Amino acid sequence: MTVKRTHDTDVLVLGSGLAGSIAALCLVRQGLRVMILDQGTHPRFALGESTTTPSSLWLKVLAERFDVPELHNISTGEGIRRHVAPTSGVKSNFGFLYHEQGAETMTRAWQAVIPQAEFSEEDIGPPPSSEMHYYRQDIDAYLWSSALAAGAVGRSGTTAAELTFDDDGASVETTTGETIRCRFVIDASGYNSVVANTLGLREDPPSMRTNSRAIFTHMVGVKPYEQVDEGPKPLAPWSQGTLHHFFNGGWMWVIPFGNFRGSQNKLCSVGLSFDNKAFPKDAEYSPEEAWARFLDEYPAVGKQFTDAVPVRPWVATGRLQYSSSRCVGDRFWLTAHAAGTVDALYSMGNINIFQSLATGVRLVLEAFEQDRFTAAHFEPLQRLTDNLHRFQDRIVYGSYVGMRAPELLELWFTLWGLTDGARVREVLKPIVRYARTGDMADLTSYDACPEAVFTGFGHQTGILTAAEALDRLDGFCDVMQELEEGRATVAETREKLLAAIESDERFDMHVEEITAGLGKSPWLLEPLRRLGVKAYSTAFLSPDEVAGLGVDEGDDGEVKVNTPRWLEERKVFEAQALELRTDLENHRELRRDLERELDAYRANTAALEQDRDAWRERAQQAEARSSAGSLGRVKKLLRGLGGREGGSAG
């Protein structure tokens, strides 16, 4: 790529968290000069710790499309343990528990075991990895250092004091007195977005239906919940996933990092989120007091924290939600978390970041190729970001209202699962095609309409446009709002919501059957094999879909299958693992031989010690006899001498 070199850097990235470092990595690998400014340093605390199937799949898309293998390393648990650190936890399920105030055990329990839409060389059984609980200080530090190693220029401990735009780019004055000229700005600095504050982009109030706040920290000594509550047993241990404790007016997250053998991290992320309408913030209570008060009111939850101790100060937020009137403009782009945020519920934040990066990085590269940095060029990214935030906000808002009663919350769970499954399908299908053909065009088919977050529910996608699907979701939220405003009862709301969900025959959704099975049987995994490619994806794609994706037979009936890079790396890793296991078994056998030799040596030593003791005893006896015989001879001699002396005198 040919670009002008009249600026200090081509792209200036503000912020070096997940979005900033990944954007920098992708752009550097594609030939642009990138500088990253961050007012802090690594390692550091950050939220956004729980991954999902969609977020991991989008990481794989970014890794392949922009030649960033480091992103494969953080898209699986085994990749993190091998390339980053054994400090991030595993996530095999979403666990949901409902609690009544004062109850000693859970009221209801649901669990969604995560289907692994990941490629594996195993014929049976699930892949040897899971989703992850990111220990963000290690993940972020890895991405930051990877960006610098790839060629990005880093400025940590540096704050942008002033930002100005002109027809040829942008200028940033830093607090260290440096002036940086760039052609394009990517703002990944989150809530304190420099671009949003400079250009007055923040909306007040935010354009979101959700209204929540949170307190959170990291703890040690948090007990696995399956050990403290004798309620319904889960399909997978609660501690092997992201656990959600629900109650009327809010929810708590429990995200352990040390939940696998070999972990080097004993910490657990814990947070408590409240609906501001039900629990407005009370300045009278500190976060510690609010936490203790909650555990007293919900003893079933409190049992998990009888020995828990925070290892860092509590953080208390105001309203979590913020939004921006624009996320793109002439020569700037606010990444998803800088443009707005909703709530941590269902771990959607990282999906928004990674999915929008896939489109945003492409548009930045095209802008440099075409010398076209206008807001109009980035308009698809604006629509995508708006849709991502709108979708997340509606799903979360309905959940907060549904927390008033477990039977209503259960119904909304079904809706979340169906919409999430539709999102997975939209990214999984191009990945399967690309895995079979090796053709980048098969991986990038979403470029035609990136703002299509999902186009239906569950398996029935492609029926609606994204706008129609989001409007339909808004209609479901309108039903929930009637309950929130006191215009309907819980029973009336559930009946009306159920009718609204099942009203469109095109989706063929039998919600009662789905909710009846939620938490009683896992989403089934079936390894599907076609031309050497195995995909654990039947929770999202039908066998016929998987069999046909990416298959284009020639006249001779032959199909060329290319092995994607992550499968090649996996084969190398598995070969290395086999070699290490062989070496380990050899060492164990050698150890067993040495232990047998040691046992024989010890037995021989014991026998020699017994012989030595016997010889000592015989020697002592001989010495005693010898001493007794010598004394007798002396006495006899003395008696003889005495007799001769007497005879002479006579």
pTM score: 0.82
Counts of helices then strands in the chain (DSSP H, E): 18, 22
| Beta carbons of 356 and 363 less than 8 angstroms apart | no
For 29, 208, 313, the CA distances from 146, given in Å and listed in that order, are 11, 35, 30
Which residues touch 543 (CB under 8 Å, ≥6 apart)? Answer: 526, 528
Q: Per residue in 2-20, pLDDT tens?
A: 444 578 999 999 999 999 9
Q: How far apart are CA 129 and CA 120, in angstroms?
A: 10
How far apart, in Å, are the Cα atoms of 214 and each of 231, 236, 537? 27, 28, 35
Please report the pLDDT score of residue 61 as a whole number: 92
CA–CA distance, 618 with 642 (Å, rounded to integer): 36
Scanning the structure block, which residue is given the tokens 């990253």? 36
Q: What is the pLDDT of residue 135?
A: 96
Q: What is the pLDDT of residues 49-63, one digit of tens each?
A: 999 888 988 999 999
Query: Which residues neighbour 334 within 8 Å (Cβ) at sequence distance 6 or greater?
Result: 187, 193, 195, 196, 201, 324, 326, 327, 328
pLDDT score, position 565 = 53
Residue by residue, DSSP assigns 348-366 as: -HHHHHHHHHHHHHHHHHH
Question: In the prediction, which pLDDT does 522 show?
Answer: 38
The residue type at 187: D
**What are the residue ranges in the chain where pLDDT is below 50?**
1-4, 117-128, 519-538, 566, 646-650
Torsion angle of the four alpha carbons 553, 554, 555, 557, in this order, in degrees rounded to the nearest 10: -50
User: Six-digit token pair at 554?
Assistant: 């020639």
> 181 CB contacts (<8 Å, ≥6 apart)?
7, 8, 9, 169, 170, 171
Domain 1-86+134-204+323-390 class in CATH? alpha beta
Q: β-strands 34-38, 153-156: how paired? A: parallel
Q: Which residues contact 81 (CB under 8 A, 6 or more apart)?
A: 88, 262
Strands (E), 195-262: 212-220, 242-247, 250-256
Rounded to whole angstroms, the Cα distance separating 10 from 24 reads: 11
